[in-house]
Amino acid sequence: MRLVLVGPPGSGKGTQAERLVTKHGLRYIGTGNILRDAIKRQTPPGLRAEPYLKQGHLAPDDLVNELVRELFTGAECPNKFVADGYPRTVAQAVWFDKLLAGLGCRLDAVIQFDVSDEEVVRRISGRRLSQTTKRVYHVQDRPPRVLGVCDEDGLPLVHRPDDREDVIRERLRVFHETTDALVAHYRARGLLKVVPAVGSPDEIYDKTMAQLTPRT
């Protein structure tokens, strides 16, 4: 399989990517991983990428594309993969299509994990973290035995700044700004498979595989 996963923060996309990697032997391709590896190896694109990563900014399309080209034309070119976070824009998607075509392969499917903005806000804003055990709770879905206190160490739980509603809604705004057009692009190409991202991770995985398995 050669897959691209699309979904907002909190959709469970990362969890499903891990399952696809484990169960099907796919190579995981995440832009963050690619950037960090290139920086570690101090390649020319890695040196260009380092300031963006340090400042928390998105790298420009041409730089991300060059990093992807390095991966796919190198000695460890992945034959089967699941891409998470790339392509991020229509321009990246068009470029990636051409790269794969030049290598004699193509995408099999683009999986969109569909969940409402309000559900994303509920999922992420309800998270609470233990600073010592790193255990993550949720005020509704996975509450501690005592409100606001870690079950293991008895210390107060933390509501991280990134998990606050105003921050989440801004992340969603940016997500829709680029991803809605990307989804439309892949829908027009007949590659889009929509998976409702509700239920347990097992249920969502089963829905994903149902979309990927040819019906007889």
Residue 75 has pLDDT above 80, yes or no: no
The single residue of 160, 164, 169, 173 carrying the catalytic annotation is 160
Residue 216, pLDDT > 50, answer: no
57: left (phi over 0), alpha (psi -120 to 50) or beta: beta
Residue 66 falls inside a structural domain: no
Look up 88 and say whether it is catalytic: yes
Reply yes or no on whether 27 is catalytic.
no
| Active-site entry in 122, 123, 127, 128 | 127
Q: Which of 36, 135, 171, 187 is catalytic?
A: 171
160 in catalytic set: yes
Would you call the peptide bond into 161 cis, given omega within 30 degrees of 0 as the criterion? Answer: no
For residue 35, name the pLDDT band (cuts at 50, 70, 90): confident
Mean pLDDT of 74-89: 87
Catalytic residue (one of 88, 123, 128, 207):
88
Residue 124 confidence (pLDDT) above 80: yes
Residue 177 neighbours by CB distance under 10 Å? 10
Domain count, the chain: 1
Position 215 confidence tier, pLDDT thresholds 50, 70, 90: low
| Helices assigned H by DSSP within 25-160 | 31-41, 44-55, 61-73, 90-102, 117-125
pLDDT tens-digit map of 152-163: 999 999 999 989
Residue at 101 is within a domain: yes
Say whether 127 is catalytic. yes
Q: Backbone dihedral region of 149: left (phi > 0), alpha (psi from -120 to 50 degrees) or beta? A: beta
What mean pLDDT comes out for the span 17-45? Answer: 87
Distance from C-alpha of 124 to C-alpha of 134, rounded to nearest angstrom: 16
On whether residue 124 sits in a domain, the answer given is no
Does 163 reside within a domain? Answer: no
Task: Look at residue 71 in the predicted model and tell me its pLDDT.
Answer: 86
Q: Is the pLDDT of residue 125 over 50?
A: yes
Give the model's confidence band at 56: pLDDT under 50 very low, under 70 low, under 90 confident, else very high: low
Average pLDDT over residues 190-201: 93
User: Domain of 98: which CATH number?
Assistant: 3.40.50.300
Compute the distance between CA of residue 164 and CA of residue 166 in angstroms, rounded to an integer: 6
Residue 183 lies in a domain: yes
Residue 91: give the domain boundaries: 2-26+80-115+171-212
Catalytic residue among 13, 122, 123, 207: 13
**Is position 175 within any domain?**
yes
Q: Is 145 a catalytic residue?
A: no
> Does residue 202 form part of some domain?
yes
| Residue 47 contacts residue 63 (beta carbons within 8 Å) | no
